[in-house]
Amino acid sequence: MKADVGSMTWRTGDDIGVSEYMLLTVEEGKRLIDCLEQEHELSIAEMAALIDANCPELRDYARIKARAIGDRQYGKNIYIRGLIEFTNYCKNDCYYCGIRCSNTKADRYRLSKEDIMACCREGKKLGFRTFVLQGGEDPYYTDDHIVDLIRQIRTDYPDCAITLSIGERERESYERFWKAGADRYLLRHETAAESHYQKLHPHNSSLKHRKQCLWNLKEIGYQTGCGFMVGSPGQTPEHLAEDFQFIRELQPEMVGIGPFIPHSDTPFAKEAQGSMELTLYLLSLLRIQQPDLLLPATTALTTIHPRGRELGIEAGANVVMPNLSPVGVRDKYALYDGKVCTGDEAAECRNCLERRVESVGYRIVVSRGDHCDVKLMES
Ligand code: 5AD
Ligand code: FES
């Protein structure tokens, strides 16, 4: 699909051998944003040009549109999820990640079932109605283990949603977790571009398999979340345009994005951090492309800017996921350096969040915070 951007011609990899995108004027950028709002679709070349044109005027233009669209869809509600990081063992070796298996300096931990249930108990008291079980890919937690955990949470907290974020597993495993009562699954695709995926991961990791996992999750019926880092090493506007295209195809219920932040004990220790401004711009463009998305203002965004959560909400986000893990292990789940909220009491974090969200005119709601289509089905 081509936008009507006057006399400009789009040159893509096909006709000149190497990829190149048009430099846009602000007016041309605005017209592409209008087009994204109307059609929910831009070509890869158009999206890459729009992303490359990131500047204060276009960010403002996108942010104002995104916020109006978000308010129409979800009102002033901000949904909260209690994040329980239950293991930092991981069999994978992603070059960017602090808990990769080659990092011998990581201080490894696993939470017991009792620890996890204590987190849920605390979380329920604080008003959380979604628990996110997140961990590295840790074979210690077999499918039986995970099913047992889901059943226990389902029994003790029938009014709460259960979200899993435990990486790539077989379709049969996802089906078992679903039958046991899990509602949602988060699995960031990390980058939709094959060459870029290879730069970020060792050879035994496969983008094709990761994408297949996401399709399986969708098919089974999970509210599914994908996502990517912003400014990961080697990322170009074209890679990001491919992420937008993949998201348009998958139509996930959630998309998690946050800036890449280097971790000192990884191969990417010396790489530059992702930009907050670009992350905010992309949050707005995601909201415009897919208005019904559940979009978190991520911890990584808060880590690189003290008002990251608020700015994320103003850019179009409508979910926050504070940490519910026991205080003693929080600093050990270190995917990147400088992670915030690792020392706080969970309750402190919750109150602080309430104030922050209200400071920008929104309110935290005590509800499961399902995707809008799920609510329609129930009512
Ligand atoms: N910086 C930012 N985000 C990171 N993640 C992993 N390592 C980093 C890092 N260094 C993200 C990945 C992963 C999610 C759990 O955290 O996108 O999917
Ligand atoms: Fe892959 Fe941590 S080792 S995200």
Tell me if 94 CB under 6 Å of ligand 2.
Answer: yes
Asked if residue 18 has pLDDT above 90, the reply is no
Tell me if 97 CB under 6 Å of ligand 1.
Answer: yes
Q: Summarize pLDDT for 94-126 with one digit per residue, the tens.
A: 999 999 999 999 999 999 999 999 999 999 999
> What tokens appear for 162 in the block?
């259960």
Distance CA(213)–CA(217), nearest Å, equals 6
Mean pLDDT of all residues in 331-345 = 77
Tell me if 97 CB under 6 Å of ligand 2.
Answer: yes
- d(CA 335, ligand 1 centre) in Å: 6
Asked if residue 378 has pLDDT above 90, the reply is no
How far is residue 297 from each of residues 27, 157, 251, 259, 325, measured CA to CA in Å?
28, 26, 19, 11, 19
Q: Summarize pLDDT for 245-263 with one digit per residue, the tens.
A: 999 999 999 999 999 999 9
DSSP H/E element including 272:
none
Asked if residue 1 has pLDDT above 80, the reply is no
- Could you tell me if 54 and 241 are in contact, meaning their C-beta atoms sit under 8 angstroms apart? no
Task: Work out the pLDDT band at 332, boundaries 50, 70, 90.
Answer: confident
Tell me if 99 CB under 6 Å of ligand 2.
Answer: yes
Domain-wise residue ranges, the chain:
13-53, 76-378
Tell me if 205 CB under 6 Å of ligand 2.
Answer: no
Atom of ligand 2 nearest to the CA of 97: 2
Burial of 344 (0-12, 13-18, 19+ CB in 10 A): middle
DSSP H/E element including 354:
helix 346-359
Tell me if 263 CB under 6 Å of ligand 1.
Answer: yes
CATH, range 76-378: 3.20.20.70
DSSP H/E element including 247:
helix 237-250
Measured by CA distance, the residue closest to atom 2 of ligand 2 is 97
Asked if residue 326 has pLDDT above 90, the reply is no
Atom of ligand 1 nearest to the CA of 266: 10
- d(CA 80, ligand 1 centre) in Å: 20
Average pLDDT, the chain: 92
Tell me if 77 CB under 6 Å of ligand 2.
Answer: no
- d(CA 136, ligand 2 centre) in Å: 6
How far is residue 373 from each of residues 256, 292, 294, 379, measured CA to CA in Å?
19, 8, 11, 10
Distance CA(251)–CA(254), nearest Å, equals 9
- Could you tell me if 277 and 248 are in contact, meaning their C-beta atoms sit under 8 angstroms apart? no
